A and B are shown apart, each in its own frame.
Chain A
Amino acid sequence: MRYKVTHRTAYRYNYPVSVGNHLACLRPRALATQRLESFTLNLSPVPGEVIEREDYYGNTLHLFSIQEPHRDLVVEAQSEVEVLATTPTYGSSVRWEEAAALLPQDHSTSGLDAYQFRFESPRIRLRSEFAGYARQSLTPARPLREGLLELTDRLHREFRFQPNATSVSTTVDEVFARRRGVCQDFAQMQIAMLRSLGLAARYVSGYLRTTPPPGQERLVGADASHAWISVYCPGEGWLDLDPTNNVVPGTDHITVSWGRDFSDVSPLRGLILGGGVQALKVGVDVEELPALATAAP
């Protein structure tokens, strides 16, 4: 599938801001399953210089600062992305306990890279209650994939998707207690459960296609940034799971970035001198593009 994604964030400040320092994490990753055709970042006011850097996880960061008084800030990221169809079968044969036990022993680059996603992180706590919840699906000796799919299904059924139920600072403990949240909470909740069992799970930030294919229901979380998770299956790779929609992400999901939790990949951060935020508007539009004509032989 090919998409054109427009992600627009507009701040209105109540007083003029004299200096604003910002950090954006908006460029979709280039992956084996995803081709980034183009990316542009439009900023208003126009900053002096936009620094592009790669972070620890390989995501692309854009840093800019606006040093003239302004009352409005608009950050618009436009990407053209092709998501390739895959049918990953990772984790089908490995027992989940085995996956957890293999993790600390693997000192290869990919093994170490995965291992860092099995610990607490700024927004993820490990709790025996979380492990207990997950163990009802990841039962002894169950294949990892099977257990994960069931856990994803249970989260989808037993936790309620409720916009505005939580804020960006809601903790996993609160989400677990109240059994409700938005996609970010679903993702962080499942990550906390899996890490509590000793598995490696990371937070994926991205987009969903806005209009469903004919005859299908529209997915929850379109028209905004979306979040799901990815679980490491030793020796195979990362398996994506979307607990908000109870699906294994395929060509409807566009991956922007990943990290330990939301705090590593928040799309736009900033520190401003002089004003306060009066209004914030975020809009995401995911438009399908026609397939590229295959080059003639």
Chain B
Amino acid sequence: MSERSMTVELYHPPLEEQDAYDEMSSAEGACRPHWAALMEAMDELGPEELGQRWARAERRIRENGITYNIYGDPQGVNRPWKIDMIPLLLPAGEWQSIEAGIVQRAQLLSQIVADMYGRQTLLASGNLPAELLFANPAFLRSLVGVPVPTQSYLHMIGVDLARSPDGQWWVLSDRTQAPSGSGYALENRTIVSNVMPDLFRDSNVMRLAPFFRAQREALLSLAGTHSPRIVLLTPGPHNETYFEHSYIARYLGFTLVEGADLTVRDRTVFLKTVEGLERVDVILRRVDDSFCDPLELRGDSLLGVPGLVDAIVAGNVRVANALGSGVIESAAIMPFLPGLCQLLRGESLKLPSVATWWCGQPYALEWVLQNLESLVVKPAFPSRAMEPVFGSDLSPEERERFAARLRAAPYDYVAQEQVALSRGPVWEHGSIASRSLVLRVYAVNTGNGWTVMPGGLARVASKDNSVVSMQRGGHSKDVWVLSDSPVDTFTMLRPKNKQIELRHDKPCIPSSVAHNLYWLGRYVERAEDTTRVLRTVVWRVPRAGRDELDCLLALFQTLGIEGGKLPKSRKALTLPQRFEQELLSVLTDGSRADSLPFTLGQIHQTGGKVRDRLSTDMTHLLGKLRDVLPTTPEETLMAYPPILSNCMELLSGFSGMERENIVRGQDWIFLSLGRRVERALFNTRLLRELARPFAEKDWPLLELLLEVADSSVTYRSRYFTTLQPLPVMDMLMADQSNPRSLDFQLAHIVHHYRKLPRHLPEDLQAMQHALERLRSFDMRKVSYPLPDALQTARSSSGILRLRRLLDETEELLLTWSDNLSSRYFNHARTLAINIGQ
């Protein structure tokens, strides 16, 4: 699955440094003119200032949540994206020839793909070996002959380039189905241009936004309808480049979806939303083509949409790039491109491919076998799993065995020359070092020709690695194409040529997004409740007497924590120590579902899935929340109160933004419902502590409850200092003006739920009834003995009724939440089961 899409499997011979082309310095060691301004600016700032600026930039990378997933590494999910401070600079003149070469290549590849899935004249004429289709697993037969608009076969391509010692750029590989990295390129630009903003402004760097505008317009025109719905189909958060999927979706204004968010009805693709099914016109896909439809393509795919191929055949949806376009990612096509370019375009190929031999040609096979020493052999079709083989590494016997393997299925292999990469400057530990690099360039088909992103994504190898791979510790670089004249400073936020129509509506949201927002709301509130309780308890425990300890324990258990390390008997002598251990465990053990680190992890995860719905500031806060707990757990409880305060501040910041910075659309309703339901549940647990006979030693609990419910000040202003159970209960349960009372939560749930489309009348009623029951509950009938008095019979029946009320309310909240799920979320993300015979 797009495995290692950001890897260039490129192995270069260990060149002496002076042999490689140096991007920055000429052979004589002088700085090339187009680097002079950058070097001067860096000299002027000095390493210390640059270091500080870069530290700020790196913080921004973390806070923006710019991440990259490393496969097969438990710590690999959501790694911060690695950027080098120094951009790669290319002068305009040189860029123009790259650009022309890319445009020609894109046109040529499109023509070839269209022929492969169309009349196949290139096969009949013998200009293209039939093996390139028939032995190629990426050739999807279901898509042959399907009418597809020409510009959607290849909507976008990525081309990996490397520069040889003589300064010539060579194509290493073509990415033709779902090229990744353009979003990272954009993010690199944002970060790097801010490190030296003056330099950036003065350098006439060609902007990236026009490229994305072109992409957006290309997709809109592909739809062919007035106001189309365009979705970006991602394999999900575990994909290597998921960050970019969500980033691009937000940037282009498309809906981010996974396969299970879509369904095919009547040969038409629909998005499952909170409002019901919404037709989808265009799918910009980041899922590999064979995984896109488990019904007609790979039956084992969990990422696709059953029936998608048929919807494409029926002409009811456009997919970019078209399914099947991966067929031309094969390196085996490379030796044929010069001839095909002449044949199809009457031109010579402008950008050469790295020297490649397809072993399916008998003379090429013989040549490869004779020159194995200097070649690297790879699978002709990228989907075949095989590590590249270096001829120079093979012993004579291995060589013989390998030769037999090549002869058995020669069409399955290509051999390539090993490429000497150019080197460019990188910022490392406060000074400039030199590393090998490759450049990925992007082009998009607008329907009226191709637009090339000026720049792209450069990647540098890590120090001791000959593979340029983000998977193996490489860095990326921003690429500045330096124009000779002022540049187009268009940004996506300010379209120049069109008057925007004012809109106050919010588009309806996918069911899975509603689901994640609801749970984000619940987890944020859960984290807040946990933090409040822990903050109240932690610093008191070490010096608490026996009675107070019992109260602290009771409060702690309102978190719904069961068992853990606590002794069964509250009389146990070891209780204080065990309690401290338990608190530490809840503060540090991320494997416990009731721990603070677990809840914060859930916030980060669900938040990450809806980051395209949250403001940048909220995303920043989520980034900070992830880092709020120390990476190595503290050993003493006393280290935690300041950490908890910090956590509390961030959570309050988040709820403030939630209230003030989100438009009251459906997004917000689901987020708020999550928060209200979670707080109501917490409330019932707090109140249950009051639904029992109160002995004198329990009275300190009242103060703790007020502190946790943030209601101490109000209590004091109303009742001065006398703490009694009833007024506390009133504040936590019935006070309609207290945002932490149970009444407040239920009232708001009713208020929000009513606004949801397709809400269930019976669920609305149930919640209204619960609120009425709560309001008609006569608290005065619950009587507690005053500290000195004896318990009366009357009090216990009141307490029982209170307990029943709380039990019923809790039960209702849980059922109601389940019903909400099945009404709005359940049909999303249900995996289909394959029942093929």
Q: Residues of A at under 8 Å CB distance from B?
A: 9, 11, 18-19, 21-23, 48-49, 51, 53, 55-57, 63, 65, 67, 104, 107-109, 112, 115-116, 118-120, 126, 128, 168, 263-264, 266-277, 280, 282
Apart from A53-B310, A168-B836, A271-B294, what 12 extra A-B contacts exist at CB < 8 Å? A9-B837, A18-B827, A22-B295, A48-B266, A104-B130, A107-B126, A107-B130, A116-B134, A126-B408, A267-B837, A272-B832, A273-B830
Residues of A within 8 Å of B145, CB to CB, are 56
Could you tell me if B130 and A115 are in contact, using CB atoms closer than 8 angstroms?
yes
Distance in angstroms between the alpha carbons of A67 and B272 in the assembled complex:
14
Distance in angstroms between the alpha carbons of A263 and B142 in the assembled complex:
13
Could you tell me if B267 and A51 are in contact, using CB atoms closer than 8 angstroms?
yes
Could you tell me if A272 and B833 are in contact, using CB atoms closer than 8 angstroms?
yes
Distance in angstroms between the alpha carbons of A277 and B834 in the assembled complex:
10
Which 10 residue pairs are nearest across A and B when measured between Cβ atoms? A271-B832, A56-B141, A21-B306, A271-B306, A116-B134, A269-B836, A119-B135, A270-B835, A21-B307, A273-B830
Name the residue on A nearest B296 (C-beta). A23
Given known A-B contacts A107-B124, A120-B135, A126-B409, A63 and B830 have beta carbons under 8 A apart: no
Name the residue on B nearest A118 (C-beta). B134
Main secondary structure of the interface of B (DSSP, over half): loop
Could you tell me if A21 and B295 are in contact, using CB atoms closer than 8 angstroms?
yes
Given known A-B contacts A53-B310, A126-B409, A266-B836, A107 and B123 have beta carbons under 8 A apart: yes
Distance in angstroms between the alpha carbons of A280 and B835 in the assembled complex:
10
Report the minimum CB–CB distance from A195 to chain B (whole Å): 10
Subset of 15 A-B contacts with CB under 8 Å: A21-B264, A21-B295, A49-B267, A51-B267, A55-B142, A56-B145, A104-B131, A108-B124, A112-B120, A112-B123, A126-B408, A271-B833, A271-B835, A277-B835, A280-B835
Which B218-268 residues have a C-beta within 8 angstroms of A?
A: 263-267
Residues of B within 8 Å of A21, CB to CB, are 264, 295, 306-307, 832
Could you tell me if B837 and A56 are in contact, using CB atoms closer than 8 angstroms?
no
Given known A-B contacts A56-B142, A112-B120, A274 and B835 have beta carbons under 8 A apart: no
Main secondary structure of the interface of A (DSSP, over half): mixed
Tell me, yes or no, whether B313 is within 8 Å of chain A by CB: yes
| Number of CB contacts from chain A to chain B under 8 A | 104
Distance in angstroms between the alpha carbons of A55 and B143 in the assembled complex:
9
Distance in angstroms between the alpha carbons of A29 and B747 in the assembled complex:
66
Distance in angstroms between the alpha carbons of A21 and B833 in the assembled complex:
10
Report the minimum CB–CB distance from B312 to chain A (whole Å): 12
Residues of A within 8 Å of B142, CB to CB, are 55-56
Residues of A within 8 Å of B131, CB to CB, are 104, 119
Distance in angstroms between the alpha carbons of A21 and B263 in the assembled complex:
10
Could you tell me if A51 and B310 are in contact, using CB atoms closer than 8 angstroms?
yes
Could you tell me if B835 and A272 are in contact, using CB atoms closer than 8 angstroms?
yes
Report the minimum CB–CB distance from A145 to chain B (whole Å): 25
Tell me, yes or no, whether B125 is within 8 Å of chain A by CB: yes
Could you tell me if B830 and A274 are in contact, using CB atoms closer than 8 angstroms?
yes
Name the residue on A nearest B308 (C-beta). A21
Report the minimum CB–CB distance from B412 to chain A (whole Å): 8
Could you tell me if A128 and B134 are in contact, using CB atoms closer than 8 angstroms?
no
Tell me, yes or no, whether B299 is within 8 Å of chain A by CB: yes
Q: Residues of B at under 8 Å CB distance from A?
A: 120, 123-126, 130-131, 133-135, 141-142, 144-145, 263-267, 294-296, 299, 306-307, 310, 313-314, 404, 408-409, 411, 827, 830, 832-837
Residues of B within 8 Å of A18, CB to CB, are 827
Distance in angstroms between the alpha carbons of A188 and B306 in the assembled complex:
27
Distance in angstroms between the alpha carbons of A267 and B131 in the assembled complex:
28
Which of A49, A108, A120, A276 has most B Cβ within 10 Å? A120
Could you tell me if B263 and A19 are in contact, using CB atoms closer than 8 angstroms?
yes
Name the residue on A nearest B265 (C-beta). A67
Task: Find B124's partner among A112, A268, A272, A277 (CB 8 Å cutoff).
Answer: A112
Report the minimum CB–CB distance from A59 to chain B (whole Å): 11
Name the residue on B nearest A272 (C-beta). B833
Report the minimum CB–CB distance from B3 to chain A (whole Å): 18
Distance in angstroms between the alpha carbons of A237 and B754 in the assembled complex:
70
Which of A23, A57, A126 has most B Cβ within 10 Å? A23
Residues of A within 8 Å of B837, CB to CB, are 9, 168, 266-269, 280, 282
Could you tell me if B307 and A63 are in contact, using CB atoms closer than 8 angstroms?
yes
Residues of B within 8 Å of A22, CB to CB, are 295
Could you tell me if A23 and B123 are in contact, using CB atoms closer than 8 angstroms?
no
Given known A-B contacts A107-B125, A109-B124, A268 and B306 have beta carbons under 8 A apart: no
Could you tell me if B834 and A269 are in contact, using CB atoms closer than 8 angstroms?
yes
Distance in angstroms between the alpha carbons of A269 and B314 in the assembled complex:
20
Could you tell me if B307 and A65 are in contact, using CB atoms closer than 8 angstroms?
yes
Residues of B within 8 Å of A273, CB to CB, are 827, 830, 832-833
Report the minimum CB–CB distance from A284 to chain B (whole Å): 12
Distance in angstroms between the alpha carbons of A269 and B404 in the assembled complex:
39
Could you tell me if A269 and B313 are in contact, using CB atoms closer than 8 angstroms?
no
Residues of B within 8 Å of A266, CB to CB, are 836-837
Report the minimum CB–CB distance from B121 to chain A (whole Å): 11
Could you tell me if A63 and B141 are in contact, using CB atoms closer than 8 angstroms?
no
Distance in angstroms between the alpha carbons of A132 and B822 in the assembled complex:
58
Task: Find A270's partner among B134, B264, B267, B836 (CB 8 Å cutoff).
Answer: B836
Report the minimum CB–CB distance from B454 to chain A (whole Å): 41
Could you tell me if A112 and B130 are in contact, using CB atoms closer than 8 angstroms?
yes
Report the minimum CB–CB distance from B139 to chain A (whole Å): 9
